[in-house]
Amino acid sequence: MSASPLVRKLGALCLLSEEEIEFLEGLQNNTLNADRGRDFIVEGKDLRTTFIVIEGWAIRYSVLSNGRRQILSYALPGDILGLHVNFRATATYSASALTPLKLSVVDPRRVIEISQKFPIIAAGLSWCTAREFAILGDQAVRLGRLSARQRLAHLFLELWHRFALIGDNNGDWLEIPMTQQDLADTLGMSLVHTNRSLKSLRDIDLISVEKDHVRLNNVKALIEMSEFNPEHLSEFEI
């Protein structure tokens, strides 16, 4: 049986023992399937569960009083939501299935067990938290200082690099199951502006779009144009 995305991600950071791998795989035995659009975390409500994405995509988001939605980040296979529920019992964001989703449902007491028994895994999870802060920092820069075209390129590069970490990228191609409205809600743009910006990137041959996939035709040029810094997401050895 192949390793789970979480094991592959942490295994890129440190040499996991058989006992540590067995623990991580066992941690994910209790699973939940969620259809596209289903919320499994609701902002302002009690959050007593930690979730690990096994298959599919999820979004973290907030909705304002006027109904406008801001997508904060994307959760991909191997990502953890609610890692720190032992310290805060109320959700500060909502989370929803962007695609059909398979989650593991983890009792928060198991997270405490990690810190007590598996210091290498605990260090890896601390790195996951640090990288999540880096992703949110990049999102703030995207929204506040980048042009529309730069925002799209920057987001595509982030997702492409994140899939590479779990050994699940497909060459220059990137799966994008989100709609243009999802992209607009991520990047703080109108639907029309999002469509025009995608067309602009295609017209200068930096990307190609085919159904629900984007091809990054020139990664180096996209990095230079968007000022994306891969070091923000890079792994290190523990």
Q: Where are the domains of the chain?
A: 5-133, 142-232
- As a whole number of angstroms, the distance between CA 72 and CA 43 comes to 13
Task: For the chain, 238 residues long, give each residue's pLDDT as a single digit of tens.
Answer: 689 999 999 998 888 999 999 999 999 999 999 999 999 999 999 999 999 999 999 999 999 999 999 999 999 999 999 998 877 779 999 999 999 999 999 998 898 899 899 999 999 999 999 999 999 999 999 999 999 999 999 999 999 999 988 877 778 999 999 999 999 999 999 999 999 999 999 999 999 999 899 999 999 999 999 999 998 887 655 5
Output the pTM of the full model.
0.94
- As a whole number of angstroms, the distance between CA 131 and CA 153 comes to 19
* DSSP for residue 232: G
Decide: 187 and 193 in contact? Cβ < 8 Å.
no
Among residues 40, 39, 45, 38, which one has the least CA distance to residue 91? 45
The identity of residue 69, as a single letter, is R
User: Three-class SS string for 88-137?
Assistant: CCECCCEEEECCCEEEEEECHHHHHHHHHHCHHHHHHHHHHHHHHHHHHH
Name the CATH code of domain 5-133 (choices 2.60.120.10, 2.40.340.10, 3.90.79.10, 2.170.130.10): 2.60.120.10
